[in-house]
């Protein structure tokens, strides 16, 4: 398969297939999680605290007292690479063009050198968080294959995208095709492992916030 044929496959049937698996997994997991249900709460709800579930969705993003000092790399690094992923994916103009073609809406982007810089910071931060994960015996003990696969599938699209832009190692056509291919892999894996937190995170926070509010522990 030549570079052009590979690129046409990943832009076309490959991406459609990956997206279909992503949608399949997303619906499957949502129904599965939702249908687990919970025991009926027989106690009457405490005083209503309006907006508690919504607030919890965001307040839980702030580190609990003392934890920032205890795990600075985890928190600061976590913020940086999540923000970096958001910027590189949603504010790089060719990506916006990609999404505009896929979903029909677009928005203004950032100048390429800014996204380039953010991509480098994101990559470095991802490497740093992985290093800490491996170096720290507790974190290493708590990690399993899911964590490392998730890390790799997050790292590769940023790396290959950055390499494609800079024409590193391979000609642009090859690297662009490989970049889209790594995105395909990420799409396929997203709903099934720990990476699924991209959509379960806010649902579970809302759920927790709502539960706590019923019990009078408003966030």
Partner 1 sequence: MKDDSVLAYLKARGISRRGFLKFCAATTSMMALPPTMTAAVAQALATAQRPSVIWLSFQECTGCTESLTRSHSPSIERLIFDAISLDYHHTLMAASGEAAERARHEAMEKFHGRYLLLVDGSVPVKDGGVYSTIAGMTNLEMLKETAAGAAAIINIGTCAAYGGIPEARPNPTGAVPVSAIVKDKPIINVPGCPPIPVAITGVVAHYLTFGTVPELDSRQRPTAFYGDTIHDRCYRRPFYDRGLFAESFDDEGARKGWCLFKLGCRGPTTHNACATTKWNQGTSFPIQSGHGCIGCSEPHFWDTGSFYKAISVPTGPFAPAATAAAAAGAVAGGAMMLRNRHAKEKAVEAKQPVSPDDLEK
Structural contact between residues 212 and 219, judged by C-beta atoms closer than 8 angstroms? yes
Confirm or reject binding of residue 79 to partner 1 (CB under 8 A): no
**CB closer to partner 1, 191 vs 209:** 191
Confirm or reject binding of residue 23 to partner 1 (CB under 8 A): yes
**Of 10-18, 67-75, 136-144, 148-156: span binding partner 1 (CB under 8 A):** 10-18
Confirm or reject binding of residue 176 to partner 1 (CB under 8 A): yes
Q: Which two tokens stand for residue 80?
A: 């940086």
Q: Which of 50, 66, 113, 137 binds partner 1 (CB under 8 A)?
A: 113
Distances (CA, A) of 120 to 75, 87, 159: 19, 12, 8
Return all residues near 123 (Cβ < 8 A) that are at least 6 apart.
Answer: 155, 158, 159, 162
Burial class (CB in 10 A: 0-12, 13-18, 19+), 69: exposed
Confirm or reject binding of residue 112 to partner 1 (CB under 8 A): yes
Residues that bind partner 1 (CB under 8 A): 2, 4-5, 7-8, 11-12, 15-17, 19-32, 35-36, 93-94, 97-98, 100-102, 109-113, 167, 171-173, 176, 180
């Amino acid at each position: 398969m030549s570079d052009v044929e590979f690129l046409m496959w990943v832009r076309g049937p490959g991406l459609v297939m990956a997206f279909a698996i992503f949608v399949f997994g997303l619906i499957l997991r949502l129904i599965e999680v939702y249908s687990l249900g919970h025991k009926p709460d027989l106690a009457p709800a405490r005083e209503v605290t309006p907006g508690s579930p919504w607030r919890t969705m965001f307040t839980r993003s702030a580190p609990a007292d003392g934890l920032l000092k205890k795990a600075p790399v985890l928190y600061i690094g976590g913020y940086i690479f999540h923000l970096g992923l958001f910027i590189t994916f949603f504010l790089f103009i060719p990506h916006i063009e990609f999404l505009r073609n896929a979903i029909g809406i677009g928005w203004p982007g950032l100048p390429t050198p800014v996204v380039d810089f953010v991509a480098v910071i994101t990559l470095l931060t991802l490497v740093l968080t992985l290093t800490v994960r491996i170096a720290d015996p507790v974190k290493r003990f708590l990690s399993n294959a899911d964590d490392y696969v998730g890390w790799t599938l997050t790292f590769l699209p940023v790396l290959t995208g950055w390499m494609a832009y800079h024409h590193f190692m391979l000609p642009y056509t090859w690297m662009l095709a490989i970049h889209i291919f790594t995105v395909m892999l990420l799409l396929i894996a997203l709903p099934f492992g720990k990476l699924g937190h991209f959509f379960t995170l806010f649902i579970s926070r809302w759920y927790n916030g709502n539960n706590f509010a019923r019990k009078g522990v408003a966030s």
